Structure 1
């Protein structure tokens, strides 16, 4: 049976770190302490299957009033194609702490069709958005 939880204490932090640091294109090499700090300062949600454990994850970086950034969404490869990604994002967006957001934002390389079904659209005025990006921050030696 599928169960979705936003209880931080239920999250499998080792699994989340393992996937993000080793298997994701966006957080490769992220140190465990950096990830733990990020997770503790986010609203997190996981998908769990009876007898298996956690199979999907998503988090929102947010002020819990006006803005949320959807981040670190993943489904373990062997559980993809079953709606778990959509389910975890829908559950996260329905969290009471995330209601009334004026803007949700995300960055994705390849999952635009999924997010379009959830109401996301390309930036309407990309020229107004700016960033500071350090893609090698996790791989540099301190």
Structure 2
């Protein structure tokens, strides 16, 4: 098992298929938009014999802030500790140390992320977002 930061074309296709078809947060994302996101992120992929097992990406300025996104373990590999291995690599990455804030949004994995130091937002009333629900739908 190895952790890589650069995806092969076949691994990119697997990431795109998962995010665009099976994730609840990126359904419908185009390959072009995902490639732009990956190009502008610090990415983590857990692979075995070139087979993608898990993926995550971080958007960061490397000095004060990071946001963890698109974390998943492919279905056949779940329940084997791969998610924990991936998250450990993310939170211990040398370029992500000493940040003032490291955020993420999750619908259902709070227990997992708490094991890596993430917690509920202390002042949610300060947070705002701009979240157009149809962002990935084609426009004419």
**TM norm. shorter chain > 0.5:** yes
Alignment of 1:1-142 (within 5 A): 2-6=1-5, 8-10=6-8, 12-50=11-49, 53-142=51-140
Structure 1 unaligned spans of 5+: none
Distance 1:105 1:123 in 2: 9
Deviation at 1:133, TM superposition (A): 0.3
Distance 2:8 2:122 in 1: 37
Aligned length: 139
Find the residue that maps to 2:95 and give its secondary structure.
helix
Preserved contact between residue 19 and residue 29 of structure 2 (Cα < 8 Å): yes
Deviation at 1:141, TM superposition (A): 2.7
Distance 1:43 1:112 in 2: 22
> How big is the alpha-carbon RMSD for the aligned residues of Structure 1 and Structure 2?
1.4
Distance 1:15 1:97 in 2: 26
User: TM-score when scaled to structure 2?
Assistant: 0.93
Deviation at 1:140, TM superposition (A): 3.7
